[in-house]
A and B are shown apart, each in its own frame.
Chain A
Amino acid sequence: MNLPAILAIYRFEMARFWRTALQSIVAPVIATSLYFVVFGAAIGARMQTVDGIPYGAFIVPGLIMLSLLTQSVSNAAFGIYFPRFSGTIYELLSAPISPLETVIGYVGAAATKSIVIGLIILGTSALFVPLHIQHPVWMLLFLLLTAITFSLFGFVIGLWADGFEKLQLVPLLVVTPLTFLGGSFYSIEMLPPFWHTVSLFNPVVYLVSGFRWAFFGKGDVALGISLAATFAFLALCLALVTWIFRTGYRLKS
């Protein structure tokens, strides 16, 4: 195991995070506050409770998930796409690093960043609504698993993209809609039967549901199913990354 290399990549990526602190930390805090003003204060005042949970508190897990998914995907995608774009990838390819070590470095950094952002959002939320987390260990587990899974997914996108447009395409056109429609701001139980069934094909539903269960002890689907779906998606992303490195796809000629 080339530990110094993993650390070098990790530190390099984290340095980028702190260098752009305004964008990476302040922006999510402001966005969260806006969500609370709009959804919590304006709409929440009329909705009061969902599943017996005050609406303001109900949206917290969904809000964290929304940022966690988009940040994981875009951070990891950018992290590996940029060296490909600028050409500095040559150094990575010529270094004595295995694919696994490369992935640990990049995905580890991207997941760390999004977890930090998730925790910042959690902290910001606590300023707006009283929060009590029923299963903190499960909450951290879901946070970790989701961050790693979507960072892997982002890494795949960063390898696949051959331009900045494609890099933005998946986070904007796939991840954000799936998150919004995945019960981030509502319970899918509130939907008509047809749309409820459609929602069950959305993988994000299981992530949000499991995460919300960790907060309130209630979710849209059973905890076991949430966990299984999260692991399934993780396995799929791992398989994709492995295939990419085996074939040298978009990395080597």
Chain B
Amino acid sequence: MPPIVSIENLSKVYASGLHALRAVNLAIGRGEIFALLGPNGAGKSTLINTVCGLVTPSEGRVRVGGHDILVDYRAARRMIGLVPQELTTDAFEKVWDTVSFSRGLFGLRKDPAHIERVLRDLSLYEKRDSRIMQLSGGMKRRVLIAKALAHEPQVLFLDEPTAGVDVELRQDMWRLVRRLRDQGVTVILTTHYIEEAEEMADRVGVIRKGAIILVEDKVELMRKLGKKRLTLHLAEPVAALPESLAGHDLTLTAGGTEIVYTYDTKGARTGITGLLADLAAAGIGFTDLDTSQSSLEEIFVDLVREHA
């Protein structure tokens, strides 16, 4: 199946001379949730804004649903919904009116039933007659999402959707994104909350200084790059690790009651069997053991540092 969003060799140089994007290539499949990660100023928003028509590309080509975003902008943009990073809303408009306005702007006839459904999905229906300025920040964020969904887009861009929102709204947002995916909507979100990408994304892209440095299936990424830690809870505390265990990458923690072994899942051998045999030989017994995989956050920090 052809990708729903295809970005080829996309570059953007702002009038100030800033190279915001450098030859970005990216293909996003229909119905996937793609998380774009990157530090502040890496080019996440520029990338999204270029696809959505807010920024003119300097070079390269972008197609959405096969439609070129410049040549065939109407068809391309009709498929796209954008939730911007900033809470940019009209102050005096009523919630219902502003969401209906968005639908009209995208060339669709009025459909009160659809607007009602969107507002109900976002727990905004009770507020439909409120002026936007009377709403809290979290509610305004919901209004922006409702506006982006008013024209039933097939691709939804969420630029930092959970920046500065409370836990409840964040979980609502995650639920909404999953529901949209179930309806076949492709969701592309930027975030610097790694846990968000870890929680929701099917694939993760990392952007740094305008260049995509990695695109990977999330599970695969964590498996490939992830380091695992094996923690052994000792039966008796030990003062120091015996010489015979020096060959393993071990640290003694928790006042000598725990041994932590770090190993790479990418390696051909994990070395666990050898370690356990050496421990037995050294007469160190343990009561329990557990393993944990490093989070996306740790992977991300490692990646960005590596490319620095």
Q: Answer whether A2 and B53 are a contact pair too, CB < 8 Å, given A87-B88, A253-B15.
A: no
- Residues from 51 to 97 in A contacting B, C-beta threshold 8 Å: 86-88, 90-97
Q: A8 to chain B: which residues have CB within 8 Å?
A: 100-101, 103-105
Q: Which of A15, A86, A92, A96 contacts B74 (CB 8 A)?
A: A96
Minimal beta-carbon separation of A252 from chain B (angstroms): 5
Q: Which of A19, A87, A248 contacts B86 (CB 8 A)?
A: A87
> In the complex the two chains form, is B107's CB within 8 Å of A253's CB?
no
Report which residue of A4, A11, A248 has the largest number of chain B beta carbons within 10 angstroms of its beta carbon: A4
- Residue-wise interface mask of B (68-93) relative to A, using a CB-CB cutoff of 8 A (1 in contact, 0 not): 00000111111010101010111111
- Rounded to whole angstroms, the CA-CA distance of A94 and B69 in the bound complex is 10
Q: A98 to chain B: which residues have CB within 8 Å?
A: 74
Q: Main secondary structure on chain A at its contact with chain B?
A: helix
> In the complex the two chains form, is A94's CB within 8 Å of B80's CB?
yes
Q: Which of B77, B86, B101 contacts A96 (CB 8 A)?
A: B77
> In the complex the two chains form, is A96's CB within 8 Å of B56's CB?
no
> In the complex the two chains form, is B107's CB within 8 Å of A91's CB?
no
> In the complex the two chains form, is B54's CB within 8 Å of A93's CB?
yes
Q: B102 to chain A: which residues have CB within 8 Å?
A: 91
Report which residue of B53, B75, B97, B100 has the largest number of chain A beta carbons within 10 angstroms of its beta carbon: B53
- Residues from 109 to 166 in A contacting B, C-beta threshold 8 Å: none
User: Would you call A221 an interface residue if the criterion is a C-beta within 8 Å of the partner chain's C-beta atoms?
Assistant: no
> In the complex the two chains form, is B101's CB within 8 Å of A4's CB?
no
The number of residues on chain A lying at the interface, defined by a beta carbon within 8 Å of a beta carbon of chain B, is 27
User: Would you call B213 an interface residue if the criterion is a C-beta within 8 Å of the partner chain's C-beta atoms?
Assistant: no
User: Would you call A50 an interface residue if the criterion is a C-beta within 8 Å of the partner chain's C-beta atoms?
Assistant: no
Q: A248 to chain B: which residues have CB within 8 Å?
A: 56
> In the complex the two chains form, is A4's CB within 8 Å of B108's CB?
yes
* Residue of chain A at shortest CB distance from B105: A95
User: Would you call A12 an interface residue if the criterion is a C-beta within 8 Å of the partner chain's C-beta atoms?
Assistant: yes
Minimal beta-carbon separation of B115 from chain A (angstroms): 13
- Rounded to whole angstroms, the CA-CA distance of A4 and B105 in the bound complex is 7
Q: A92 to chain B: which residues have CB within 8 Å?
A: 105
Minimal beta-carbon separation of B15 from chain A (angstroms): 7
User: Would you call B55 an interface residue if the criterion is a C-beta within 8 Å of the partner chain's C-beta atoms?
Assistant: yes
User: Would you call B52 an interface residue if the criterion is a C-beta within 8 Å of the partner chain's C-beta atoms?
Assistant: yes
> In the complex the two chains form, is B73's CB within 8 Å of A96's CB?
yes
Q: Which of A9, A12, A94 contacts B53 (CB 8 A)?
A: A94
With A4-B109, A253-B56 given, name 6 new contacts (CB 8 A). Answer: A5-B105, A12-B101, A94-B53, A94-B77, A98-B74, A252-B54
| 22 A-B pairs in the complex with CB atoms less than 8 angstroms apart | A4-B103, A4-B104, A4-B106, A4-B109, A5-B105, A8-B100, A86-B89, A87-B84, A87-B86, A90-B84, A91-B82, A91-B147, A92-B105, A94-B54, A94-B77, A95-B105, A95-B106, A96-B74, A96-B77, A96-B78, A96-B107, A97-B107
Interface of A toward B, CB cutoff 8 Å: 2-5, 7-9, 11-12, 15-16, 19, 86-88, 90-98, 248, 252-253
